[in-house]
Structure 1
Amino acid sequence: MSTSLIFQSLFAGLTNSFVYALIGIGIAVIYRGTRIINAMQGDFAVIGGMIAVFGLVSLGLPYILAFTLGLAAGAATGYLIDVLCVRPMIRRKADEEAFLLLTIGLAVAISAAVLYINGREAHLLPGIGGSGSINFAGAFISVHALFLIAIALLVVLGLWLFYRRTTTGLSMIAASVDPDGATTIGIDVNKMRALTFVMGGTIGALAGILVTPLISVNYHMGLALTLKGFSAAILGGLTNPLGAVLGGLVIGISEALAVLGLSSGYKDVVALTIMVIMMVLMPNGLLGKAGRQGG
């Protein structure tokens, strides 16, 4: 097996890792701020990618405006889910299982809506930096993939600073941990929860926009992204965006090694088997109990 082939597989695995990490980060953000497990995070990515394609191709917008439109669509979807679905359920004192079923139902509904509106067609966006690539040891990684990795790392850094250094970030955590106590000290719990869904929707849409130059966006892409992102979030401790990056690296690199040693058809089996084994050995995630409180 040639060195260039090994590096090529690892580059692909590294790129996939940060896509999964971005989905996992969105899941972690929503869970941290609401204690709701969001089973439709990958569908935020579908919305962001599809709207960006619509803005670029159908409306003829410049790339940056189409990019922004996709992000806005993800943010707006997150806000509407909170206002139209989550708040009424909270008022009726729904339990955790009901919210999980809600997000599963929304995932199916969004996929069906995209299928109805767009059909089975898949679409690509141009990459950031065009179609350029960098050669390393005979293997190539696209410039867009490097931008994707850099943006994902910036998102993690931004969230770490947001949750630790800003009043809004601390208020969001307080509103999640003890809504009644947060209300007594003047925190608007509804506003904090809405902001959490807006952030989760925006991060999901960002993942979709960044992955669409690499993988064609289509109506059924959301489920696969959700499963991989959820795996990354679980490995990282579910509440910790940094942990989601580590979890994404485990899943993505495992897939790359599976492709090298076996067949590409086994990559999902190998990656998820490794995840199960690691969760049995480390049930609190890769960063342990302390990492579950990080961010």
Structure 2
Amino acid sequence: MSAHAKYYVPEQSHWPIIGAMGLFLIAFGAGHFVIGLDKHTPNNGIYLLVAGIFTILFMLTGWFRHVIHESMSGLYSEQMDVSFRQGMSWFIFSEVMFFGVFFGALFFVRMFSVPWLGGADGSMTHQVLWPTFHAQWPLTTTPKGTTTKAMPWLGVPLVNTIILLTSSITLHFAHVSLEQKKRKVLAICLGCTILLGMSFLFFQAKEYIHAYTEIGLTLQSGVYGNTFFMLTGFHGLHVTLGTIFLIVLFCRVLKGHFTPEQHFAFQAGSWYWHFVDVVWLCLFVFVYVL
């Protein structure tokens, strides 16, 4: 009978409950903060939101440190590596479903709701509810009369697309360099990827400021504003988490971690970053261009 490979079972951890608390504070604080913006009244939502963000960062720091220590101590086996791969694959699949819901909402609004309100297929909705409503997308004039401007795809969105595509290339070369034991090239390419991710976030913040202060595109700008900030905002959050992930990997690379045979953490970060890039390409086409 062949011997079974060892399978490390970690002790009970307090990090999941801390992460759940952080997510609750983020959701609760963000909700109250947005409500306060709508009512133009001060509230404590921003403080809860910031507390939640710091709680999540604390959880990530502690949990990453714990897992890295277990890995470098030789506690993980080949079967454990398979489990990590399955877990990361299911996590990315859940993220695909997450964004699929938002893209589905965008598709439904554009293809069904707006045309229906405009009297498509001879429906009486147009005459009964909003006789002056003009069905178009982007919906820059809502049925109640709120007007805004569409965000053009030229300019910052195009620049950010080039940035993310370039970051995928540099990360790929970093991965290849790791497998070829070229540590210096690995560090340079991974560092460039991190800088590109930060540049993307900088330009997205600049775009949001432009939207709010110059063209009147806000969360209160009807369904177009809602879907725009929902999709771009959640994607920006994922880019932020991906950048944090890459920074952790960069620090580990500088410490001499990872080998061509054992580097799933690096591979997982690469999977996640490429997934975020693919989501942005879909977002760029369906939110900005079409």
Structure with the larger RCO, 1 or 2 (CA within 8 Å, 6+ apart): 1
TM > 0.5 fold call: no
Question: TM-score, normalization: structure 2?
Answer: 0.32
